[in-house]
Structure formats: structure tokens, C-alpha cells
Amino acid sequence: MSKFLKVTAATALSLCIAAPAYAEKLGLGRAALPEEIAAWDKDVSPNGEGLPEGSGDALVGEEVFAEKCASCHGDFAEGVDNWPKLAGGADTLADKDPLKTVGSYWPYLSTTWDYVNRSMPFGDAQTLTNDEVYAIVAYILYSNDLIEDDFVLSKETFLEVEMPNASGFILDDRLTSEAHFVGDACMSDCKDEVKITKHVVFKGDPNSPDDPVSESAGEAAQDAATAEDEAKAEDAPKAEEAAVVEAAALDAELVKAGEKVFKKCKACHQVGEGAKARTGPVLNGVVGAKLGHVENFKYSKTMLSMGEEGVVWNEANLAEFLKKPRSFVSKTKMSFAGLKKEDDIKAVTEYLKSFSE
């Protein structure tokens, strides 16, 4: 009955309408097993509660980072394209464009460990060993000059690391610091004159490459992108000059469209002059090649055996694969879900063909 009263208090107003009352337990659900809780309850608290056994240092971390993280976050945690920078930015928080990284902004080290452990690498989450996570976190700390290269990070040493911005946060104080927003509102003669102080930066469709404003608005794009929390656009959108080999048979428009689609692939694949293997193999010459054609790249067994059987990356096979990678090559390591639009598949294939000379 006491619980019922609590509900009435909380929802006094709506109770007369239809709020259900919870007096008794319903006996629904089943007991969670210890191994189930262990499998899902992995969060780590600021005091280190929840950290598992294991350890790692920056030297090992550098190798793991290069293999698993650098394709997006850069070899030195400096960030590639719009992907987050993890290092640098010290003392920039009061600047016009602060650079918020693990070193400059994150108040607790537990957050870094927890996030790397449960949510990274992007597209292959929850696959790192505890030692790898410790090593990656150590490398990120080292990149921020927060530890020496011989510091071994473990749950025992965890709280020794000082996070520079640990005291940089205050609790939400809007109700006091913004109390002046509560009150009477002016209805007439509120100001003498009204003048335009700022015009819009992107006049038309923000996605249109033809927008004359957007081409010269790099800085604004940068400001705007800071609003999105996943990444900071350091470079304005620019039409990268692709080293496209203009073969006569290629549809230039389609190649151009494909270059755009390829942005989705860039996190893992490089193509063109100087391309290097990342999470995925270099894609130069892929059209027409056998499956698994790049030597020394660690393909899935399925991919290699299909290649040995003579399966070739012709347009039909590429289309199948790009539509749903795992149904064409079961157990492929490529974690990409697939391209939904046929036009995108055609375009990206044309783009790849331009690197197949």
C-alpha cells in the first residue's frame, strides 16, 4: 500500500485519469544469472570500480593502436578527416574553437577505458582483450603527454593518472545563473531599432555542391560541425581532386558520384597512389582481380578460398558483395552492413574501376 501512495503523490494529477497502481509484485521476468550479469555489466566507474585484471603500456599500445584505431584516429591520435582527435588541445577550452580530447577535456580516465572496451573499434566493437584496452588507453595517455612510455596501466595504477580537466566541470546551474530568464516578458517598445547583424552562411541546400556560399565558407562549416558531437570538421568540405585515371570507358560523372559514396569505405580502405592497407586492404586493381588478391592481407578464410576457386571481382560479384557483404562472402571480416542503393553500388564500382589500370 505504501508503494501505491508513492505513486499517487508522484502522479496526483493524472491518477484520476488512468495511472495504473503497483501494489504487489507481478512475478514477471526471471532471475538474472551471474554469468549473464558478468557478460553485460561492464561499465567502469570514476573510482575504477568495474576494471578487470590485465595491463598494458604505451609501447604495446602504439602497435595495437596502429592496427585497430589509427585508420580513423590517426597514427598519433591526431584524428583523420572528421574522426575525433584523441590527443592535443591542452589549454584551449576557453578559446574560440576549443579542441576537446581525452587529454584536454575528459575528466575521468574510467570513461576512456570503458568506451574503448565497449564501443570500439568502430564497426568491430567488443572484440578487444583487456590487455589491448589497457595498452590502447596507455597509448592515448602517452599521446597526451600524461604518462611516460614505461608506465604500465592496470587497475592498480589506474588512479595514479591525473586527468588535467578533472576539476573543469560544474553541476548544472541554470536555475540560478539563468534565473533572470524567469519573469515578465516585454510586449511593446522593447527596443529602438532592428538591424541584421549576421546573414545565414549556407543560403541554399546545405548538401548542394552548387551552393555558391558553401564553397567559400570553410570556417563556418568548421564552426557548424562543432555542434555535432561525434566529430569536429577541421577541414571544410572540399572537392578532393581524385587521382582518377580517365579511361575512355569510364563514366566520369559516375566516377565522381562513386568518389562520394566511397567516403563510407574510407574508414577502412584506401585507394589510389600511395594507398596503404588499413583495417581493410588497398583497393587498387580490385575490379577484375580474384577475391583476396592483395598479398599478405589477412582476409577471412572464405574470401581466400573463393579466390582460389577462381571467383573474380567482376561487376556482378561486386554488386552482390557491396549490397550485403556477409551473404556473398560468409564470415568476411568486413563489418560494413552494405550499400542499400543500387545507384551507389554502381557509382562506387565505377570509381574503383578508375583505379584498376
Question: How many chain residues are in contact with another protein, going by CB under 8 A?
Answer: 105
Of the residues 1, 16, 35, 96, which one makes contact with another protein according to CB under 8 A: 96
Given candidates 1, 169, 240, 296, which one binds another protein under the rule CB under 8 A? 169
Would you list the DSSP string of 239-289? ---------TTS-HHHHHHHHHHGGGTTTT---STT----SS---TT-TTS
User: Which residues, listed in sequence order, are joined to residue 290 by a DSSP beta bridge?
Assistant: 312
1 binds another protein per the rule CB under 8 A: no
- Using alpha carbons, select from 107, 95, 110, 13 the residue that is nearest to residue 52: 110
Q: How many CB atoms lie within 10 A of CB 83?
A: 19
Q: Which three cell numbers stand for residue 228?
A: 555535432
Interface with another protein, residue 267, by CB under 8 A:
yes
Q: What's the min distance (Å) between Cβ of 19 and another protein? A: 7
Q: Does 16 bind another protein (CB under 8 A)?
A: no
- Check whether the bond before 52 is cis (ω within 30° of 0): no
**Is residue 272 near another protein by the rule CB under 8 A?**
no
Single out the residue of 150, 162, 188, 331 in contact with another protein (rule: CB under 8 A). Answer: 188
Long-range Cβ contact pairs of 269-277 (< 8 A, separation 24 or more):
271/352, 271/355, 272/242, 272/243, 272/355, 273/243
Site for another protein in 74-93 (CB under 8 A): 81-84, 93
**Interaction residues for another protein, span 198-257 (CB under 8 A):** 198-204, 206-207, 220-221, 223-231, 233, 236-237
Per CB under 8 A, 341 contacts another protein: no
Give the nearest distance from C-beta 118 to another protein in angstroms: 5
Q: Please, which of residues 98-157 interact with another protein by CB under 8 A?
A: 98, 100, 102, 105-108, 110-111, 114-115, 118-119, 122-123, 125-126
* CA-to-CA dists, residue 169 to 48, 165, 166, 298, angstroms: 19, 8, 7, 45
Spell out the residues 6+ positions from residue 335 whose beta carbon is closer than 8 angstroms to its own: 123, 124
- For the bound state, the minimum distance from the C-beta of residue 6 to another protein, rounded and expressed in Å, comes to 8
Closest CB to another protein among residues 25, 276: 25
